[in-house]
Amino acid sequence: AKESGRNQLQFYEAAMHSRIAERTMIEAELRHALARDQLRLHYQPKVDLRTGAVVGMEALLRWQHPTLGMVSPARFIGVAEETGLIVEIGRWVTRTACFQNMAWQQAGLTPLRVAVNVSARQFRDPGLRREVQAALSDSGLDPRYLELELTESLVMHNVDGAVAVVKELKRMGIALSIDDFGTGYSSLAYLKLFPVDYLKIDQSFVREMLTEPKVAAIVRSVIALGQSLGFKVIAEGVETEAQLAYLRRHQCDDMQGYLFSKPLPADGFGELLRSERGL
Ligand code: C2E
Ligand code: CA
Ligand code: CA
Ligand code: CA
């Protein structure tokens, strides 16, 4: 038993060292990712469940590294956040999304809203509003075609401060949504203070709602609650026809998920819009 305890300890140490090594490497490489043009945005459609039409898209960051390959956001967003690199990367994301969206509009495609994820560090950055404003005016994009996704845990962390920032952003004319809804702690009393447009039901609920009756009850409640507070409700991570049918039956507004489309590179997304594939 003693022997296996030691082996296990060595195993943990080795695992920890490789985690630290990976982190250090990612941190070092991420510092150059922007300058070396290794970052891209992919776009995933958001679809109106009633009409089946694409009504918007979420921009998702992709990092193509020459030797590490495609590094997923799960591996580098946290590092970017801790090192503060997310502020610069986030600025690039917002600008790129605005310019790309403007390019699609200028190419004659139906104007749609592009959503950008905002991390905690960016949200607390006093320059956020100015940078969003600059991205809009430099690209020429109408503010109503930009949406910021703020996670529930982010806005519920310091409610007074967050409400003030959300109100400022809202005054700029952009759309706002609360992402990963249901995974954090939300007080209904606080929720009504946020002038947001959308609640995004987290994909963990969508994944379990057809097998766990209690999860289904949560999903139905979030749809009803969100709509009664004046929000639109979108479900993310929709992968099956059965999930789609359930969400439709319970009058969820919009959906996003692999069933309709994975996140696509900009040219692929443009193709999808041109072909106007409906649900
Ligand atoms: P998120 O904002 O909750 O984004 C949704 C994630 O679910 C994305 O993962 C998306 O590719 C994935 N997804 C979409 N449909 C499905 C589906 O049907 N099934 C499953 N299993 N997954 C689906 P991704 O692109 O790996 O991003 C992970 C997270 O990284 C995002 O979660 C977001 O928190 C963060 N992230 C991505 N891009 C950015 C960014 O530009 N800025 C910031 N701050 N965070 C970002
Ligand atoms: Ca999101
Ligand atoms: Ca989400
Ligand atoms: Ca998430």
Note the ligand closest to the C-alpha atom of 116.
1
At 269, is the secondary structure helix, strand, or coil? helix
pLDDT at 277: 58
**Ligand 3 midpoint to CA 207 (Å):** 13
Q: Which atom of ligand 1 is nearest to the CA of 239?
A: 18
Cα-based distances in Å from 68 to 38, 39, 132: 11, 13, 31
**Ligand 1 midpoint to CA 3 (Å):** 42
Residue 140 corresponds to which tokens in the numbers above? 């020429």
pLDDT at 1: 59
Cα-based distances in Å from 103 to 58, 110, 139, 213, 277: 16, 11, 9, 45, 20
Q: Could you tell me whether strands 198-201 and 146-151 are parallel, antiparallel, or unpaired per DSSP bridges?
A: unpaired
pLDDT at 141: 98
State the pTM of this model: 0.93
Q: Is the CB of 182 under 6 A from ligand 1?
A: no
Q: Which atom of ligand 1 is nearest to the CA of 258?
A: 18
Contacts of 127 (CB under 8 A, 6+ apart): 87
Euclidean distance between CA atoms 73 and 42, whole angstroms: 12
Q: Closest Cα partner for 141 from 168, 116, 167, 178?
A: 116
- One digit per residue, pLDDT tens: the chain, 279 residues? 566 777 777 777 777 778 888 888 899 999 999 999 999 999 999 999 999 999 999 999 999 999 989 999 999 999 999 999 999 999 999 999 999 999 999 999 999 999 999 999 999 999 999 999 999 999 999 999 999 999 999 998 889 999 999 999 999 999 999 999 988 877 778 888 999 999 999 999 999 999 999 999 999 999 999 999 999 999 999 999 999 999 999 999 999 999 999 999 999 999 999 987 555
What is the per-residue burial (b if ≥16 Cβ within 10 Å, else e) of 78-97? ebbbeeebbbebbbebbbbb
At 153, is the secondary structure helix, strand, or coil? helix
Euclidean distance between CA atoms 174 and 196, whole angstroms: 10
**Ligand 3 midpoint to CA 256 (Å):** 10
Contacts of 36 (CB under 8 A, 6+ apart): none
Q: Could you tell me whether strands 54-65 and 113-118 are parallel, antiparallel, or unpaired per DSSP bridges?
A: parallel
Helix axes 2-33, 85-106, angle to 10 degrees: 50
Q: Closest Cα partner for 209 from 242, 184, 234?
A: 242
Q: Which atom of ligand 1 is nearest to the CA of 259?
A: 18
Helix axes 213-228, 241-249, angle to 10 degrees: 50
pLDDT at 187: 75
Name the residue with tokens 């759309």: 175
pLDDT at 5: 73
pLDDT at 265: 97
Atom 46 of ligand 1, nearest CA residue: 117
Atom 3 of ligand 1, nearest CA residue: 180
Atom 35 of ligand 1, nearest CA residue: 73
Q: Is the CB of 120 under 6 A from ligand 1?
A: no
Q: Which atom of ligand 1 is nearest to the CA of 60?
A: 38
Q: Is the CB of 93 under 6 A from ligand 1?
A: yes
pLDDT at 279: 59
Q: What single-letter DSSP state applies at residue 264?
A: E
Q: Is the CB of 152 under 6 A from ligand 1?
A: no
Q: Is the CB of 263 under 6 A from ligand 1?
A: yes
Say if CB 198 and CB 178 are below 8 A apart: yes
Q: Could you tell me whether strands 113-118 and 69-71 are parallel, antiparallel, or unpaired per DSSP bridges?
A: unpaired
Choosing from 46, 77, 177, 240 the residue with most ligand 1 atoms within 8 A of its CB, the one to mutate for a pocket test is 77
Contacts of 120 (CB under 8 A, 6+ apart): 81, 151, 154, 157
At 10, is the secondary structure helix, strand, or coil? helix
